[in-house]
Amino acid sequence: MIKLIVGLGNPGSQYEKTRHNVGFLFLDRLQSNCSGSWANEARFHGLVASCIISGQKVLLLKPQTFMNRSGLSVGALARYYKIDAEEILVVHDELDLPVGACRLKKAGGHAGHNGLRDIISVLSENGFYRLRLGIGRPDSGKKVADYVLSAVPKQDAGSVAEVFDLLGEQIASVVLGEMSLAMGNINKKTN
């Protein structure tokens, strides 16, 4: 079962609608269906909300540490609530998937994603679940940093919204630990 869903992104209005912040954007969408609201929790270095999904209490976390220090926030909250790595779902942007694609997986490396790298380092393990949201790659010769920190273009907004709709339909299965079912539905529908 999933007890903590972490959306990765960077704090600040200048990053709000960027590709790198699709994890934050998804959590905002998920939280809007809950009765609670975001609270700034200094001890967890992030914004925290509580949700009930399929009768289960789930904490939502948006680290406010900037991407490269996401582990500080995730580690603090996980230790405080005694949440094991396999009870954590991290939602993040993925350069290696096209816009409109997403993949749910357990464990693995960081593939160069600095947010994942820091979480793995702080938790001292990589056994958490990841929801990889495709943002595509920049054109040849363009800097990756400039690309991920640029706004999601209007032509991609519809694809991102469709993925969020699909994930909203599947999140109950994820939270309840029905991972094979959720992986099949998510991974198959966003090829």
Scored b (16 or more CB within 10 A) or e, 48-69 reads bbebebeeeebbbbbbbbbbeb
SS3 content of the chain, % helix, strand, coil (to 5): 45, 25, 35
Scored b (16 or more CB within 10 A) or e, 24-40 reads bbbbbbbbeeeeeeeee
User: Is 20 noted as a catalytic residue in this protein?
Assistant: yes
Residues 6+ apart with CB under 8 A from 102: 94, 131, 132, 133, 134, 163, 166, 167, 186, 187, 190
Radius of gyration of the chain (CA): 15
Per-residue tokens: 80: 């405080």
Asked if 127 contacts 70 with a C-beta cutoff of 8 angstroms, the reply is: no
The catalytic residue positions are: 20
